[in-house]
Structure 1
């Protein structure tokens, strides 16, 4: 079993100095949560794409400047890019190396944020880009609007095995989203909470279990849940080894303990931090 390390390599996000891309730069064309790929499933170069406006710098990948733009006419972009096709970020993340998948997710997040943050929320004036930053500022009242992150937590909760058996891991099924998967307890961090406090609250609310130890595992940007979502993963142990989960009936529909040597097949995808946590617990078990 291969367990990815908690810290994953990622592309840099320093903004390019130039305000227009070169033909050899990577060009990520976004439509909703889909990206345009080359015939072999990779990311195209700017020179291979139809003329686009509104390129936004994303940073560099292996020293190559990268840019993103949103198209209002996906059929035109795909037609002019011979053999190109649209792929969801979820599909790309399952196939591309991790730094490239992260870059694709960043493109979706930045483009979505720009589309949904065009006007000042205080005085309704049109926002202007802040040079060198993923941020906008109101020219009338000065309101500063960066791309804010939405932190969320998830926890791999364990307890000692029954009668000396292997460690057991708590897995849940959600009422919405990928309902066929056995996943981890997760939720967004609320105002005034630390990450650890959010873990304890979410676990108490969703499965009515009290936790003993909580240890940080790693983090991952997550484009599926919306722009700016950052997942923070933790491992945790229950305070009462005999505790049984009771689902809230709203966000979760099922919860049960699984021996780590007999986990179900319906687990989160291999590119997700949820799966990294599950695999790490199983490897230790």
Structure 2
């Protein structure tokens, strides 16, 4: 996860990996997944491998501050110490990089559940040592864990004379419909991220942009496993143009002065909020 200031990653933190060269130790971190929820201790701390039965089937996730982390899929959280929560609830309470580790646990477990059989010859897939991927032992089909890229963009234009710039915020037709958020969408095959920014803005609000500038990225575990959000900033090519929502993905779009943003903004742990806050801060300097 890239922080709002764009600082370099620290040497510790979460490092993804798929090393099975040693078995889990009792003190290693444990992330039990049940459906779309993860179980943590009652106070939000991660469980340990020793908290679960000895015959638990563990999947490697990487390391958190040097400590190996493992996930497991459970049919029920009954009997597991702690409480199950969705990723959004967990990410709202815990610091980075724990939220990213939790998102990887959900992504890895979900992918393994939905990619058990070869799509070419129907044989059961086998894990590839040291990788988050599988291979068919019969036909050799290689199946890596997919990553879906999506873009979101903070669009600004000059405000009235003597006023701060304005930021375009939208309300989506699905998800948390009460929030004022940013234009966003998935990148299509064969498309650059910058092209996706232009296309999504043109399709959803009918505006054209100057060249977008890359801001940062964040792994995201709400809209589906294996999603990577890439944030951009851009200026409206026509400062007088008004948005026209597509009526399908968006229900409303409005310009807000950067000194008068609404209270119903994306949560503080999201790159959407980082973009909005960074844009507002830049306008004050």
Structure-1-length-normalised TM-score: 0.95
User: Which among 111, 114, 129 is matched to residue 109 of structure 2?
Assistant: 111
3-state SS, counterpart of residue 268 of structure 1: coil
Q: Note if contact 2:20-2:129 (Cα within 8 Å) is conserved in structure 1.
A: no
- Structure 2 partner of 1:148: 146
Aligned pairs (5 A) from 1:40-59: 40-59=43-62
User: Which among 59, 64, 76 is matched to residue 61 of structure 1?
Assistant: 64
Query: Higher helix share goes to which structure?
Result: 1
How far has the Cα of 1:50 moved from its partner? 3.0
How far has the Cα of 1:22 moved from its partner? 0.3
User: Which among 171, 192, 195 is matched to residue 194 of structure 1?
Assistant: 192
- Structure 2 partner of 1:166: 164
Structure-2-length-normalised TM-score: 0.95
Aligned pairs (5 A) from 1:1-285: 4-7=4-7, 10-77=13-80, 81=81, 84-285=82-283
How far has the Cα of 1:19 moved from its partner? 4.4
Aligned residues: 278
3-state SS, counterpart of residue 54 of structure 1: coil
Q: Given the superposition, is the C-alpha separation of residues 152 and 60 from structure 1 closer, same or farther in structure 2, using an over 3 Å criterion?
A: same
How far has the Cα of 1:225 moved from its partner? 1.1
Q: Note if contact 1:6-1:219 (Cα within 8 Å) is conserved in structure 2.
A: no
How far has the Cα of 1:124 moved from its partner? 1.0
The Cα offsets for residues 213-246 of structure 1, whole Å up to 9 and x where unpaired, read as 3100000000111111000000000100001000
The Cα offsets for residues 239-264 of structure 1, whole Å up to 9 and x where unpaired, read as 00001000000000000000011000
Counterparts of 1:127 and 1:261 in 2: how far apart (Å)? Answer: 55
Counterparts of 2:166 and 2:273 in 1: how far apart (Å)? Answer: 16
Task: List gaps (5 residues or longer) in structure 2.
Answer: none
How far has the Cα of 1:15 moved from its partner? 3.0
Q: Note if contact 1:213-1:238 (Cα within 8 Å) is conserved in structure 2.
A: no
Q: Cα RMSD over matched residues? A: 1.3
